[in-house]
Amino acid sequence: MEQILGNLSLLFEFPVVNLKIVVDGVMIGALFALAAYGLALVWGVMNVKNLAQGDFVIAGGYVAWWLSGKGMPPLLGVPVAFVVLWGIGWVIYKLVISRVIERDLFTSLLATFGLAIMIAQILNLLFGSDTQSIQLEYDTLYFFDGFVDVPIAKLLGVLMAAVLATCVIIFMKRSRMGQAIRATAQDARAARVLGIDTEKVYAFTFSLNSAICGAAGAIIVMVWVIQPFYGISYSIRAFVIVTAAGLGNLPGVISAGLGIGVLEQYGAHIFGIGYQQAVAVMLLLLVLLVRLLQQRRVRQSLQ
C-alpha cells in the first residue's frame, strides 16, 4: 500500500512521467489494436472466436526473426511474415476452421484452443524456448531531459502498424472482396443467395487475419521480445479490446487498443509491473459488466 502511494506521488512530483507513460502505452497499444482488429474480423464475419490469435502473432515474430538470422533486412520481415502467415492461415482454415465454422460456439473455441497449444509447441520444438528479439541499429530520440525516450525502431513499428491498418481499411471499403466480406458479415445466407462464394470469403478472411497477426508479430520481435509461450497474453488483450469496442467498430478497436496500452502502463506504474496484465483482465470484467447492464436496459443481444 505504501509503495502504491509512493508510486502515485511520483506521478504528481514528476508530471513528465505521465507523458512517458502515455507515449509508451500508445506504442504498445497500436500493436494490440492490430491483433484485435484481426480478431474482430474473424469474429464478426465467421463467428469464430479465435483463441490462437496471439499464437499467430508469435509465429509471425519467429518468421521474421528466423529470416533476419539468415541475413534478411529486419524491416522486410514485416511483409514476409504477412505473406507466410497468410499461407499458414489458409492451410489452417482448410484443415480445421472450415470444419467447425458451422458448429456451435464450444466446438470452435475448443478447436482454436487446441491450435494455440499446437502452434506454441511447434514453435518451441523448432526454435527452442529461449526468448528472441531483433535489435535494430537505430538511435533513440530523447525528449524532456531524457525522460521520454522514443526508440526509432519502435516509431517505425508503430508507423508500419498504422500503414497496415490503413491498407486493410481501404481494402475493406473499396475492393470487391472487401465488399463481399462485409456482406457476408451482415448476413451470410443473403450473401450466398446473391451469389457470393461465402466459403471463399471465409478462407480469405481467416488468412487475412493470420497475416495481420503475423505482421504484428514481426513488428513486436523488433521492439520487444518473443517466446513460444507468449501468445496467450496477446490473445487476452485482443479479446479485451474487441469485447470493449464491439465488432465491426474499427475506430472503436483502435481507440480501445491504444487506451488499454496506456491503462496497462499506468497500472504497471502504480501497482507494480506484475499487475500489468491484471489491469487488462480487470478491464475485461468491467466491460462485460457494463455491457450486461446496457443489454438489460435495451433488451438487445450483444452484437
Partner 1 sequence: MKSLSALGVCLTGAFLTFSQVAFAADCEEITLGSAISLTGKYATNGAHAKNGYEFAIQKIKDAGGIKVGDKCYNFKVIYYDDESKGDRAATLTERLVNQDKVQYMLGPYSSGMTKAIAPVTEKYQIPMVEAEGASRSLFNKGYKYLFAVLSTSEQYLASAVALAAEKAKESGKDPSDVKVAIAVENDPFSLDIRAGVLEDAGKYGMKTVIDEKLPRDLSDMSAILTKVKLLKPDLLIVSGHSKGAATAVRQIGEQKIDVPMVAITHCEAADVVGNFGDAANDILCSTQWAETLTYEDPLFGSASNFDKEFKMAYSEYADKTVPYQTAQASAAVYVFKDAFERAGTRDKEAVRDAIAATDLATFYGQIKFSEAGNNIAKPMVLRQIQDGKYNVVAPSEFASHKVNWPRN
Query: Which residues form the interface with partner 1 (CB under 8 A)?
Result: 3, 7, 10, 13-14, 17, 20-21, 24, 28, 124-125, 128-131, 133, 135, 140, 142, 146-147, 149, 151, 220, 224-230, 232-233, 265, 268-269, 272-274, 276-277
Nearest approach in angstroms of CB 289 to partner 1 is 24
Phi-psi region of 72 (alpha: psi -120 to 50; beta: other; left: phi over 0): beta
Spatial CA neighbour of 205 closest among 221, 219, 188: 188
Residue (47 or 133) nearer to partner 1, CB: 133
Cell of 179: 465488399
> For residue 151, which phi and psi values (nearest 5 degrees)?
-65, 135
If the CB atoms of residues 185 and 284 are measured against partner 1, the closer one turns out to be: 284
Question: Which residue's CB is nearer to partner 1, number 73 or number 146?
Answer: 146
| Nearest-approach distance from CB 7 to partner 1, in angstroms | 7
CB 110 within 8 A of CB 52: no
Nearer to partner 1, 53 or 108 (CB): 53
Q: Which amino acid is at 168?
A: V
Nearer to partner 1, 114 or 128 (CB): 128
Closest CB 131 distance from partner 1, rounded Å: 4
C-beta of 202: minimal distance to partner 1 in Å? 31
**In this complex, which beta carbon is closest to partner 1, that of residue 12 or of residue 251?**
12
Least separation, in Å, of the C-beta of 21 and partner 1? 7
Closest distance of CB 275 from partner 1, Å: 8
- Residue type at 197? D
Cβ contacts of residue 130 below 8 Å, gap of 6+? Answer: 227
Backbone angles phi, psi at 277, to 5 degrees: -75, -30
| Backbone angles phi and psi of 20, in degrees to 5 | -60, -45
The single residue listed with the C-alpha cell 482454436 is 112
